[in-house]
């Protein structure tokens, strides 16, 4: 749990509900990297920054019991993608932490997430005059809308986009909110590197070795 008083309590949700088709299916977040699962590496960075961390995952939650975290499945059928995981986390927060207004969405395959991620995102949205209901990250001139802060008041707009409009692209929804954008350097390692393929995992192993030197 975060004790950082520089920003308001924030629920983190690790988006682990994908089908991992480019890795042959299964739980990508349970693949190993440097002796630890991808999920363990994400949680090691996320837990100190968040009031509570949720896992957005579908199927039998017992396979994730060792992490001792709430497992929140998609509330929208047919695996519509990360937006469904964000909505599930917003709904959980409204029901279980009604005083908490912010949710941070985090990728389950991002082993190098910044340890000051939430502090920087909150500072960026405050710099926008607190008007921004979403604050997302960018690195190397590229935006990463899956890694973002979301205000809980977006729940119904997001539900409408998913259920009524059939919207699936995270970036499309985020751009509707006029988001604040926090920039990071992409060298020596892009902090928002994500492992989508076996080749990406091999690259991540090399990066871990380089960072340890």
- Give CA separation, 210 vs 29, 42, 176, in Å: 22, 19, 39
| Half-sphere exposure for 92 (CA within 13 Å, toward CB) | 24
Q: What is the pLDDT of residues 70-126, one digit of tens each?
A: 999 999 998 899 999 999 999 999 999 999 999 999 999 999 999 999 999 999 999
Looking at residue 90, its pLDDT comes to 98
Is pLDDT of 211 > 80? Answer: no
- Express each pLDDT in 131-144 by its tens digit: 899 999 999 999 99
Instruction: Please say if the pLDDT value at position 26 is more than 80.
Output: no
User: What pLDDT shows up at residue 213?
Assistant: 46
The answer to whether residue 154 sits within a structural domain is yes
> How many structural domains are present in the chain?
1
* pLDDT tens for each residue of 42-84: 999 999 999 999 999 999 999 999 999 999 999 999 889 999 9
**Mean pLDDT value across residues 139-154:** 97
Is residue 24 assigned to a domain?
Answer: yes
The predicted model gives 143-147 an average pLDDT of: 97
Q: Is residue 5 part of a domain?
A: no
Model pTM score: 0.92
SS3 content of the chain, % helix, strand, coil (to 5): 40, 20, 40
Q: What are the pLDDT digits (tens) for 179-205?
A: 999 999 998 899 999 988 889 888 888
**CATH number for the domain that contains residue 186:** 3.90.550.10
In a domain, 3, yes or no: no
Both tokens of residue 192? Answer: 């928002």
Residue 137 falls inside a structural domain: yes
What H or E segment, with its residue span, contains residue 158?
A: helix 155-159
pLDDT at residue 150, as a whole number = 98
> 130 lies in a domain?
yes
Domain that holds residue 155: 10-212
């Amino acid at each position: 749990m975060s004790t950082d008083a520089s920003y308001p309590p924030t629920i983190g949700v690790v988006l682990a509900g994908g089908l991992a088709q480019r890795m042959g299916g299964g739980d990508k977040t349970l693949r190993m990297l440097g002796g630890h699962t991808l999920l363990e590496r994400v949680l090691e960075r996320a837990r100190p920054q968040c009031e509570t961390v949720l896992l957005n995952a579908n199927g039998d939650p017992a396979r994730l019991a060792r992490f001792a975290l709430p497992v929140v499945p998609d509330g929208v059928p047919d695996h519509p993608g990360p937006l469904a995981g964000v909505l599930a986390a917003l709904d959980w927060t409204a029901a279980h932490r009604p005083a908490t207004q912010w949710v941070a969405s985090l990728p389950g395959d991002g082993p190098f997430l910044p340890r000051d991620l939430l502090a920087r995102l909150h500072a960026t949205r405050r710099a926008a005059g607190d008007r921004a209901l979403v604050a997302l990250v960018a690195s190397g001139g590229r935006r990463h809308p899956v890694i973002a802060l979301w205000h809980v008041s977006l729940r119904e707009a997001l539900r409408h986009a998913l259920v009524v409009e059939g919207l699936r692209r995270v970036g499309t929804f985020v751009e509707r909110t006029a988001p604040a954008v926090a920039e990071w350097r992409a060298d020596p390692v892009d902090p928002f590197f994500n492992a989508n393929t076996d080749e990406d995992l091999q690259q991540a192993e090399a990066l871990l070795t380089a960072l340890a030197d």
